[in-house]
Amino acid sequence: MRIIKPDELKAILAAHKLWLNNERGARANLTDADLTDVDLTRANLTDADLTDADLRRANLTGVNLTDADLTGADLDFSSWPLWCGSLKAKLDQKQKRQLLYHALAVMTPKERKKYATKAGMAFVNKFHRRKDNEVPELEAK
């Protein structure tokens, strides 16, 4: 895991902003970066490389993750941005399962039955926190 100091992160984000504007700069490469507890509020991480980054408890409020690669990143206890800037983020199966579990968990059983298929429920119940019985199995009753 690569430790990123606050000043280094600030420089990476500034260079990334320039790169996004087709100016001098560089695409943000945060591969294998330790970003636990980091406040990234409203950062523009469009097309950034966050593969295998540790984003546990990171504040991602308002972050633009369009085309950002988060494959293998740990998103546990982070705040996922629920706006269009996160719709095209590249996620792995574990992350998709995690997000879907949370979306279905806030639905009533009646709503879940309406939206969830048998295959979808089998997928979501393989959520990594489910395997350790930390969260209940979801059913589409």
Q: Which of 66, 17, 10 is nearest to 38 (CA)?
A: 10
The residue assigned the tokens 């990123």 is 4
Q: How far apart are CA 9 and CA 116, in angstroms?
A: 40
Q: Kindly tell me if the per-residue pLDDT of 141 is higher than 80.
A: no
Local confidence band at 30 (pLDDT 50, 70, 90 cut-offs): very high
- So what's the pLDDT on residue 100? 93
pLDDT for 61-109, tens place per residue? Answer: 999 999 999 999 999 999 999 999 999 999 999 999 999 999 999 999 8
Q: Are residues 98 and 67 in the same domain?
A: no
Given a cut of 90, is residue 52 above it in pLDDT?
yes
The answer on 77 and 100 residing in a single domain is no
Same domain, 78 and 103: no
Q: How many other β-carbons are positioned within 10 Å of the β-carbon of residue 5?
A: 8
Domain match, 98 and 87 both: no
CATH number for the domain spanning 73: value is 2.160.20.80
Do 97 and 73 sit in the same domain of this protein?
A: no
**Are 109 and 132 within one domain?**
yes
In terms of domains, do 43 and 109 share one?
no
Distances (CA, A) of 35 to 32, 55, 100, 132, 138: 9, 5, 23, 25, 31
- Print the domain residue range for 126: 93-141
Q: Are residues 114 and 78 located together in one domain of the fold?
A: no
On whether both 49 and 87 belong to a single domain, the answer is yes
Residue 132, pLDDT score: 80
Predicted local confidence at residue 139, as pLDDT = 85
62 and 114 housed in the same domain: no
Contact call for residues 50 and 66 (beta carbons, < 8 A): no
- Structurally, how many domains does the chain consist of? 2
Between CA 7 and CA 1 the distance in angstroms is 18
Residues 82 and 107 in one domain: no
List Cβ neighbours of 93 (8 Å cut-off, separation of 6 or more). none
The pTM of this model reads 0.88
Residues 37 and 78 in one domain: yes
